[in-house]
Amino acid sequence: MTQQSLFIIKPDGVERKLVGNIIARFEKKGFKIVKLKMLTFTKEMAEEFYLEHKSKPFFAELVSFIISGKVVAAVIEGNNVISTTREMVGTTKSFEAAPGSIRGDYGLGVTNNIIHASDSTESFEREVNIVFK
């Protein structure tokens, strides 16, 4: 089933010059890049983006981190792209992510875990409208 997904290389990934390596993984997997841009989240964008976590104790940390530097956002397309991307990205806590996953290979923590990826079609629709307004 062809679908689209969003991933965002977070400020730590951009700062560590991992953008090319990460994008190459998705291209090698056979996914097509449909949209690509570099941006800096505003506080308002970040709060809207992470709205589902607003009541959680780590919300402020998420917002603060994503606005701390430039990010690279991409919309990719392909068969089962959402579930495959989530598998490629790895679990949120980098120290628990499988070796070979993006977070397993590059992540240094929970917040500074290199990358965000949409976890469902609904999340993709909401997130892409924030990032690619």
Q: What are the structural domain ranges in the chain?
A: 2-131
Q: Which of 10, 116, 117, 131 is catalytic?
A: 116
Q: Which residues neighbour 74 within 8 Å (Cβ) at sequence distance 6 or greater?
A: 6, 7, 8, 9, 23, 26, 33, 35, 36
Q: If one looks up domain 2-131 in CATH, what number appears? A: 3.30.70.141
Q: Using alpha carbons only, give the angle 118, 68, 107 rounded to the nearest 5 degrees.
A: 55
- The confidence band for 1, taking pLDDT boundaries of 50, 70 and 90, is confident
- The confidence band for 8, taking pLDDT boundaries of 50, 70 and 90, is very high
* pLDDT tops 90 at residue 64: yes
Render pLDDT for 39-56 as a digit per residue (tens, 0 to 9). 999 999 999 999 999 999
Render pLDDT for 109-133 as a digit per residue (tens, 0 to 9). 888 899 999 999 999 999 999 999 8
Amino acid occupying residue 19: V
> What whole-number percentage of the chain has pLDDT above 90?
95
* Known catalytic residue at 116: yes
